[in-house]
Structure 1
């Protein structure tokens, strides 16, 4: 047998024969097509209100009243956005929401991580009772706690302050629950190795365990940011000064006609559209890291 003359001929000789592609049964093709049609319809149902919101923000008041569901404005205008930023306190509301949200997000990620690690790893008397209370708090509607929260804030002298807006939101029972369960999924051998090297409890938590809990931390970060950014009830009972008004409280006032007569649909939709941007950006940045439990596994 003679050797192949060129490298291309040799590659052809060693290349395995291509397998014939299997044809899907018509019934399966039809079922998958119907499945994707249903997904597209559901996506359109969820996206359409947002598109209407953005479109309405660029309409005039008259057009928003006559054709509220039209996605293409007949007359494109940015008057609603100009009015928000030049003739309202919207920049102040945005600044207050940003300050509170950043402080609450950082503080909640830190404190719920500490609490979750303590409940998952530290052995102390009453640990089971404390965890049962944390789970019980998750079942209590937040509206029930509004009046007691107002009384406590007023009694300790932090009502109508940034401290009163931030401190009650720093710890979340659901966050503690998530972090405890994730810490329990991390092998104990990792911490034992760190203690053999001389690391203390906090050093082991901070330098070894916490980096392995990155998926849970990202989940808590997104939930904390979204929850504090969209919080309304707590800010109603914790503040009364116009200078401490947040976006949710201010936009609620706009919905009640806080900037004049008329329906003000473009103004309200513009305010709501801007509110959704930070949460949407944060979610799209970190969505692939949410509770990916494959991270943090011990590599051999």
Structure 2
């Protein structure tokens, strides 16, 4: 009996290990995912601004177009350090081909098949249009190179095991739109800018125990990851600004009370100020269309 029990437990362990390996494996794009697409750097500049790439990847007080990394992000899971994603072929991503960059952006997978941590918001970028991805890549290739080496994350075991991020993707990543059935094309465009490119929910939505976004409390505010203060809610019941007020704030950084954006939002406004008036109007319309 004990032998049969031991054999059964061994089989269960093997099955469990196999399921774990399957769940946590990388899931890259097909090699031909971008076939036939050509990038437009001018369009890519707008995508770059909307996606907030510079906000994380420029060095503290560094030039706005040098993506040398180094910015640190304190979280409950450890401190993450933004990598160099400049066009340098050694320190940055200049040697990566388009599909490798697209895998990082859309799937959170490195060229050698490692899982990226979701502090890189591929959980939002996975909704990007393929043309926007290739336009973004083509624009990034025009930016200056930096030979500053990327710094390692400061993360304790077991979170230091990158493969576990595959399990996080399975159980915590949001694949679908949160606002369903937008009432207009403008709101649909705002949804794309907010939920995909702008990844606004990464800061404005609370998280569950494994770090996934709590979509039932979408945009209702969340604790600062560093543990001090709170990111405000921006649903209609928590932000009573008009569409025009929100659009103006995204352009100039000034609130209806003539206060100005500060902290991390100052960097966000530097990006949204580069968008079109129609983009900012769409973002504002989307926010006003959210449930209270």
TM-score range, shorter chain: under 0.3
Q: Whose relative contact order is higher, 1 or 2, with alpha carbons under 8 Å and at least 6 apart?
A: 1
Q: TM-score, normalised by structure 2?
A: 0.25
Q: TM-score, normalised by structure 1?
A: 0.24
Which structure is higher in helix share? 1
